[in-house]
Each structure stands twice: as structure tokens, then as C-alpha cells.
């Protein structure tokens, strides 16, 4: 009985296999109990639902391995209605129609044709649209990519809309230079060249039987076993790695490139334009932005990484390192003289910041060493080294914390950009120290007047203002309001990070504390001086 049962099931499978269709025509539908089968039965297209879920998806899978799926059409929009159907209309659009629910678009063609459209599942696993001429023959739809053989250069060429996109390089040591590493050693290549013909052919070393290559919609050359022959995802027109060809629009330069970054543009975060065509891939978006002068950035429109969004003439891009803002693919122009100066200035500020932190550590270490006993079992720290850098809470109450270091750092920051000392600064029109002077200039919107004139030719004004801004945040009266040192580093290294407005600093209290401290030191010096001096006076 088991043998008869096996033969019966096998016969049913063969009957279904040979009775299944591989093509949808306009007006045809595909429901949960029907499917498409590729001509030789390698792939199946239909509805399925994964284990332990009621969600239903449209997909393509290997016929002999139902769980090995190669494509899912509605990954982000599953249906739960078993009566849902896939339809193909006369315009070539695929749509899933759930009963009583909203239609789910799977594919909408960019151009509408008057010819009859059919959809066929191929033995490669591709589900393709084909046009029928009036005589009923297939009319191949020209895709953007084409594979050619170059008889003069003895190499393969992939063209994108007629423009060289990728080349294989010449045949050397029985393999082409720029095919993928996984393909090398898999094929034997032979070039035939004589007066009558010029071509090449290959044999698959590791597999017998049928072997074939195809170009996917994004320009990747692949074999039927899903291995890559040419990996072209990095062929963007501005690099020559791995056989990629360089093709520059008039508005681009050789070193321009796209980089994935999070942030926003100065003229607003909203994209300038959209392309809702779900057949467009990220590569299409990249090429479109590259060829569109004024395009600053792009990304995909839908969650399945199809469609395009573009940012055009949006001005300066501010990078955000928090990870909250979704990333874009931003065009990074060729570095200019100003860019080099900017990087140099940033490097100088960061280097000075590092030196300041080290200097503060040394000051703290020395101050901890200078412990002086006052009376019985009572100690104080000799702060002679810290004149002008003491935080108000330490000067007035003896309270020391990490925010005291921040205050000292803020003073040093203002000293660096102004080229003046805080504890020896005096302005004829102001009875305050350097910190107070910086605050008054801030209120008068004349902050750049604090800058050392020696820096006027080498600095960038926005960065100078940012340094002064951070310095004023560090010297605020309340320790709670001051940033931490990690915040300070982020503020200085991330120019797109917004800064809060500074509050009135503690310069008036600090000045009184310093003066009182200096008076105390002078009285201490007189009281412990055991030497005498004789002055010579005339009689």
C-alpha cells in the first residue's frame, strides 16, 4: 500500500505540474488555490502563509523546496483574507485585491503601451512582463541594462541605457579580471577569434547540465544558481573599482561621491520631488540624482526600497550623529580650498581642546598635592594655581564637582579664542573680567569682537562663534545648567547639533571670590613672614 500511495501522490503532482500555467493575461486572476509554474517546473508563483501566522503573501519559491523563497511581493502589506486574488490589467499593473479591503499595488509600469501585455514566470525565477505584437509574437521590453561582447577589447561590457556601466577586463589566467571572486574557478572561458567570427563561451566546472546567466533589473550579472558574475552595486559613475566605468555629467567632478549620512538640509528636511514608480531601485535613484544637476541627496520612497525621493538645491547639509533622523545618500562634493581650511580649523580646535583637558588634569593633580593643614585635623587645598578659573560654588562654598572642571574649561576656551587671560583682563569701559566681557558682547550681538585679531585671517566665523557659545555655556552660574565634558566634545565636533542659549555667567561672583582669595593670600603671606628688613632713610 505505501508504494501505491506514493505512486498516486506522484501522479497527482505530475498532473498538476503539467496542467499548471506559466502565464497571466490581462483579466486573469490568481487565487489562493491556484499558482503559476515555470516551463520546466523549477519555480512556483502563488500565495503562501508562513508557519504560525495567518498572514498571506504573494511570492515565488523553488518548486522542490517550498520554504526557499526568492521573492515576496507584499512583504510589508500582508493580507489575511484567503479570497484575495492577484490581477493583471490591460495597462500591465499587478494588484492584490482582498475581499472588502484596500487594493495592494504590486507593480505599476512607468509607461503605458497599446500592445497586449502578458506576465510569464521563467525558469530563471523571474516574473517578467512581455508585450505581444499584433501577430501574437513576443516583443521584448528593452530594459536599462544590456550585456555585450567587445571584440576589440576582448571583454564583456554591461551598458546602462547605452552607456558603459561595467567591463569584465581581459581574460587572464583563464578568468576575467573583474568578475566576482565566487565566479573565479567556477568557469572555464574560451575566446574564439578568427577572420569570420569573434566570440567567447564558457563551461561550468562544478555543475553539469544546464547553466545560464541573466542580468537583473539593477544591473547585476548573475547565474541561474544565484551566484554573482558581476557585482555592480558600487558602479555609480564616479569610481573605477571592480570594473566600474566612470561617466560624469557636466555638473559633476571626478571626486564627487554619495555617502550615507543622517541629518537635514538648511532649507528644510522635506524632499523636493518623488518618483512613485515601484520598479525603480536604489541604483536607479542614485543614477537619476547623479545625472540631475542640483540634486543634493536621494533615498528610497517605500519600505521595500523602491521608488525615489530627491533633495534638490537644499543648501548646506547638517549631519546628525544621534541616529534619530533616517539616513540619506548625500552628495559629497570634491574637497575645495575652503573645505581644507575648515578641516584644518576643526583639527586645531579639537587639538586645543585635548590640550586643555590635559592641562586641567595637571592642575587638578597639582591642587590635590598642595593640601595645607589649618588647625587640628582641618585641611584646605591651596588654589594658587587656579586663580581666574575657580567655579563660583567652589570659591564661595568649597564645593567641587565635575561641573567645576567644566567651568574652568569654559574660561580657558574664552582665553584661547580671545588671546587674553581672565584674571588679568581689564576693559576700560567695563568693570568685569574676560567672562563678563564675553557675555556683554554676546548680548550686544557683537560676539566676534572677542576674537583674537591674529585669528581673523585663518578662522571660519561660524566655528569661532560656536567656540564662544560653548565657552559661555560652560561658565553659567548654576552647575546644573552647565554641560558635561562629553556634551562639550559633542558640541565642538558635531556642528549640526543645536546649542541652547547661554544664561548669565557667574563672572561677578567669581571676581569677588578671586579678589577675596588674593587678599587672604596676601594676609597669610604677611603673617607667616619671619624675616625683617631695614630701610635706609636720610636724616
Q: What is the pLDDT of residues 459-505, one digit of tens each?
A: 788 888 999 999 999 989 888 888 988 888 888 888 778 888 898 88
Q: Which pLDDT band, with edges at 50, 70 and 90, does 348 fall under? A: very low
Same-domain status, 345 and 329:
no
**Does pLDDT of 179 surpass 60?**
yes
Residue 9 falls within a domain, yes or no?
Answer: no
Distance of alpha carbon 24 from alpha carbon 111, whole angstroms: 19
Least confident of 48-62, 376-390, 481-495: 376-390
Which of 117, 139, 161 represents a domain boundary (last residue)?
A: 139
**Does pLDDT of 252 surpass 80?**
no
Name the β-bridge partners of 191.
200
Q: Three cell numbers at 533?
A: 628688613
Task: Kindly report the length of the chain.
Answer: 539
Same-domain status, 494 and 356:
yes
Domain CATH number, residue 364:
1.10.510.10
Q: Whose grid coordinates read 554591461? A: 158
Residue 510 falls within a domain, yes or no?
Answer: yes
**Does pLDDT of 381 surpass 50?**
no
pLDDT 10s digits, 406-443? 888 888 888 888 888 876 655 545 546 888 888 888 88
Same-domain status, 324 and 429:
no
Query: Of all helices (H) and strands (E), which one includes residue 365?
Result: helix 337-369
> Which is more confidently placed, 233 or 491?
491
Same-domain status, 426 and 493:
yes
- 302 contacts 309 by C-beta, under 8 angstroms: no
Residue 454 falls within a domain, yes or no?
Answer: yes
Neighbouring C-beta atoms of residue 92, cutoff 10 Å: 23
Q: Which pLDDT band, with edges at 50, 70 and 90, does 291 fall under? A: confident
Same-domain status, 371 and 471:
yes
Same-domain status, 390 and 451:
yes
Name the β-bridge partners of 163.
160
Q: What pLDDT, on a 0 to 100 scale, did the predictor assign at position 473?
A: 92
Distance of alpha carbon 158 from alpha carbon 233, whole angstroms: 13
The structural domain count of the chain equals 4
Residue 281 falls within a domain, yes or no?
Answer: yes
**Does pLDDT of 520 surpass 50?**
no
Distance of alpha carbon 76 from alpha carbon 198, whole angstroms: 48
Residue 530 falls within a domain, yes or no?
Answer: no
Same-domain status, 111 and 29:
yes
Distance of alpha carbon 209 from alpha carbon 204, whole angstroms: 9
Same-domain status, 268 and 326:
yes
Q: What pLDDT, on a 0 to 100 scale, did the predictor assign at position 423?
A: 66
**Does pLDDT of 80 surpass 80?**
yes
Which of 203, 230, 257 represents a domain boundary (last residue)?
A: 230
**Does pLDDT of 397 surpass 70?**
no
Q: Whose grid coordinates read 510589508? A: 76
> Which is more confidently placed, 254 or 400?
400
What is the pLDDT averaged over residues 509-515?
44
Which of 317, 334, 351 represents a domain boundary (last residue)?
A: 334
Residue 496 falls within a domain, yes or no?
Answer: yes
Distance of alpha carbon 271 from alpha carbon 233, whole angstroms: 24
Three-class HEC string of 19-85: HCECEECCCCEECCCCEEECCCCCEEEEEECCCCCCCEEEEEEECCEEEEEEEECCCCCCECCCCCE
Q: Which pLDDT band, with edges at 50, 70 and 90, does 254 fall under? A: low
Q: What pLDDT, on a 0 to 100 scale, did the predictor assign at position 19?
A: 43
pLDDT 10s digits, 130-162? 776 555 555 454 567 888 888 888 889 988 777
Q: Whose grid coordinates read 565634558? A: 485
Same-domain status, 83 and 97:
yes
Cβ contacts of 127 within 8 Å, gap of 6 or more: 36, 45, 60, 71, 119, 120, 121
What is the pLDDT averaged over residues 321-328?
77
Q: Three cell numbers at 434?
A: 574676560
Q: What pLDDT, on a 0 to 100 scale, did the predictor assign at position 366?
A: 43
- 48 contacts 57 by C-beta, under 8 angstroms: yes
Residue 531 falls within a domain, yes or no?
Answer: no
Name the β-bridge partners of 128.
120
Residue 476 falls within a domain, yes or no?
Answer: yes
Distance of alpha carbon 223 from alpha carbon 393, whole angstroms: 72
Q: What 8-state DSSP symbol labels residue 231? A: -
Domain CATH number, residue 116:
2.90.10.10
The answer for 408, left when phi > 0, alpha when psi is -120 to 50, beta otherwise, is alpha
Q: Three cell numbers at 348?
A: 586645531
Same-domain status, 447 and 517:
yes
pLDDT 10s digits, 27-37? 888 888 888 99
pTM: 0.34
Same-domain status, 352 and 497:
yes
- Alpha-carbon radius of gyration of the chain: 37
Q: What residues make up the domain containing 270? A: 248-334
Q: Three cell numbers at 196?
A: 569570420
Same-domain status, 253 and 305:
yes
Q: What 8-state DSSP symbol labels residue 230? A: E
Q: What pLDDT, on a 0 to 100 scale, did the predictor assign at position 353?
A: 52
Amino acid at each position: 500500500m505505501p508504494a501505491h500511495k506514493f505512486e498516486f501522490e506522484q501522479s497527482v503532482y505530475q498532473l498538476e505540474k503539467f496542467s499548471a500555467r506559466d502565464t497571466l493575461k490581462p483579466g486573469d486572476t490568481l487565487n489562493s488555490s491556484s499558482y503559476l509554474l515555470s516551463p520546466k517546473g523549477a519555480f512556483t508563483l502563488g500565495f503562501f502563509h508562513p508557519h504560525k501566522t495567518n498572514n498571506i503573501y504573494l511570492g515565488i519559491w523553488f518548486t522542490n523546496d517550498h520554504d526557499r523563497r526568492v521573492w515576496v511581493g507584499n512583504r510589508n502589506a500582508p493580507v489575511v483574507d484567503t479570497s484575495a486574488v492577484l490581477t493583471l490589467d490591460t495597462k500591465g499593473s499587478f494588484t492584490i485585491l482582498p475581499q472588502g479591503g484596500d487594493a495592494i499595488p504590486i507593480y505599476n509600469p512607468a509607461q503605458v503601451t497599446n500592445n497586449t501585455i502578458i506576465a510569464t514566470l521563467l525558469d530563471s525565477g523571474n516574473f517578467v512582463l512581455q508585450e505581444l505584437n499584433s501577430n501574437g509574437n513576443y516583443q521584448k521590453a528593452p530594459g536599462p541594462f544590456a550585456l555585450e561582447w567587445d571584440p576589440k577589447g576582448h571583454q564583456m561590457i554591461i551598458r546602462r541605457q547605452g552607456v558603459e556601466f561595467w567591463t569584465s577586463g581581459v581574460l587572464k589566467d583563464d578568468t576575467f579580471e573583474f568578475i566576482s571572486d565566487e565566479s573565479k574557478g567556477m568557469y572555464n572561458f574560451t575566446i574564439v577569434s578568427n577572420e569570420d567570427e569573434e566570440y567567447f563561451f564558457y563551461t561550468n566546472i562544478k555543475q553539469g547540465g544546464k547553466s545560464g546567466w541573466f542580468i537583473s533589473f539593477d544591473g547585476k550579472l548573475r547565474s541561474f544558481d544565484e551566484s554573482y558574475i558581476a557585482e555592480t552595486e558600487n558602479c555609480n559613475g564616479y569610481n573605477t573599482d571592480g570594473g566600474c566605468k566612470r561617466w560624469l555629467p557636466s555638473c559633476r567632478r571626478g571626486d564627487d561621491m554619495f555617502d550615507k549620512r543622517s541629518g537635514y538640509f538648511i532649507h528644510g528636511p522635506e524632499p523636493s520631488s518623488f518618483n512613485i514608480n515601484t520598479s525603480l531601485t536604489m541604483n536607479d535613484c542614485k543614477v537619476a540624482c547623479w545625472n540631475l544637476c542640483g540634486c543634493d541627496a536621494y533615498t528610497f520612497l517605500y519600505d521595500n526600497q523602491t521608488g525615489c525621493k530627491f533633495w534638490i538645491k537644499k543648501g548646506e547639509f547638517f549631519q546628525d550623529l544621534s541616529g534619530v533622523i533616517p539616513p540619506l545618500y548625500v552628495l559629497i562634493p570634491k574637497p575645495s580650498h575652503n573645505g581644507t581650511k575648515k578641516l584644518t580649523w576643526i583639527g586645531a580646535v579639537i587639538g586645543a581642546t585635548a590640550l586643555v583637558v590635559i592641562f586641567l588634569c595637571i592642575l587638578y593633580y597639582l591642587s590635590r598635592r598642595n593640601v595645607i593643614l589649618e588647625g587640628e585635623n582641618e585641611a584646605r587645598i591651596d588654589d594658587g594655581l587656579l586663580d581666574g578659573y575657580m567655579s563660583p560654588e567652589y570659591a564661595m562654598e568649597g564645593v567641587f564637582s565635575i561641573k567645576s572642571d567644566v567651568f574652568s574649561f569654559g574660561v580657558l576656551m574664552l582665553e584661547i579664542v580671545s588671546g587674553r587671560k581672565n584674571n588679568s583682563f581689564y576693559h576700560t569701559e567695563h568693570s568685569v573680567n574676560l567672562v563678563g566681557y564675553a557675555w556683554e558682547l554676546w548680548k550686544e550681538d557683537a560676539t566676534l569682537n572677542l576674537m583674537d585679531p591674529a585669528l581673523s585671517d585663518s578662522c571660519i566665523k561660524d566655528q569661532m562663534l560656536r567656540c564662544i557659545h560653548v565657552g559661555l555655556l560652560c561658565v553659567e552660574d548654576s552647575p546644573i545648567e552647565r554641560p558635561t565634558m562629553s556634551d562639550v566634545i559633542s558640541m565642538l565636533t558635531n556642528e549640526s547639533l543645536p546649542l541652547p542659549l547661554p544664561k548669565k555667567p557667574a563672572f561677578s561672583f567669581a571676581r569677588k571670590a578671586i579678589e577675596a582669595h588674593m587678599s587672604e593670600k596676601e594676609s597669610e603671606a604677611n603673617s607667616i613672614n619671619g624675616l625683617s628688613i631695614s630701610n635706609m632713610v636720610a636724616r
